Amino acid sequence: MRDEKTTHFGYEEVAVDEKAGRVRAVFDSVANKYDLMNDLMSFGVHRLWKRHTIEISGVRRGQRVLDLAAGTGDLSARFSGLVGAEGEVIFSDINAAMLEQGRERMLNEGRAGNLHYVQADAQYLPFPENHFDCVTIGFGLRNVTDKQLAINAIYKVLRPGGRLLVLEFSKPTNKPLEKLYDLYSFSLLPKIGKVITGDEESYRYLAESIRMHPDQETLKGMMEHAGFERCDYFNLTGGVVAIHRGYKL
């Protein structure tokens, strides 16, 4: 019997057991143009957002890092260099097409020794408890069906002293910027997606999924609910993006 509980897929209400498949189809569609679209959508600023995430991660040589929703590996590549040969980075994504794109990129860049690839759902992580020094999820939490379930799962696999960093689109901190951002997201972004990938609807979904994602204070509360302590967040580009950080103590 089908579970009749619903969740959001952008602005659309769908059955809980349908969302993962719908999200998978979006990323199957855009995987081969993912990096190009990231540069175009953010005017290249996504690289600075990711650099700041790395800088505040506290990751050091010899540590274990889990990079969820790794995409094509911008964060994983940086972490691979930081942890060195004695460390380990798990490059993970729920989407097989994205995982393959990322694996191919890492191999082409000669990053192989300390990187391991795992297709996994952030809600049900196939890793031991108390295992990782740092878990990151960049621009992926908003696509997870049950965000609280994922945050709880991340808490379990972090070792005491470990930290979670969530890099995600968030809520702009002033109204003029919010209005400009809405205009860009709903009028221009889907058109760019249509020209570059031939898929306007996937980028319309991405714009809607950002608006449905919890705002800064709500996400902070969700992390605290999971058990994280010393939770804080950093607004970037006027709150268009935020980095949330919490520790398992």
Give tens-digit pLDDT for 50-81: 999 999 999 999 999 999 999 889 999 999 99
Amino acid at 12: E
Annotated binding residue at 93? yes
Residue 122 labeled ligand binder: yes
17 annotated binding-site participant: no
Residue 171 near residue 102 (C-beta atoms within 8 A): no
Quick check: helix, strand or coil at residue 159?
Answer: strand
Kindly state whether residue 198 falls inside one of the protein's structural domains.
no
User: By the 8 A CB rule, do 192 and 37 touch?
Assistant: yes
Segment 38-60 shows an average pLDDT of: 92
Q: Answer yes or no: is 215 within a domain.
A: yes
Provide mean pLDDT across the span 181-201. Answer: 88
Residue 108: give the domain boundaries: 30-173+205-247
12 inside domain: no
- pLDDT (tens digit per residue) in 103-116: 999 999 888 789 99
Q: Is 144 within the bounds of a domain?
A: yes
Q: Is residue 1 over pLDDT 80?
A: no
Does a structural domain hold residue 18? no
Using CB atoms within 10 A of its CB, is residue 1 exposed (0-12), middle (13-18) or buried (19+)? Answer: exposed
189 inside domain: no
What are the tokens at 200? 């306007």
Number of domains observed in the structure of the chain: 1
> Residue 123 sits in a domain of what CATH number?
3.40.50.150
Q: Angle at which helices 189-197 and 34-42 pack, to 10 degrees?
A: 150
Query: Is residue 22 situated within a structural domain?
Result: no
Instruction: Classify residue 137 as left (phi > 0), alpha (psi -120 to 50) or beta.
Output: beta
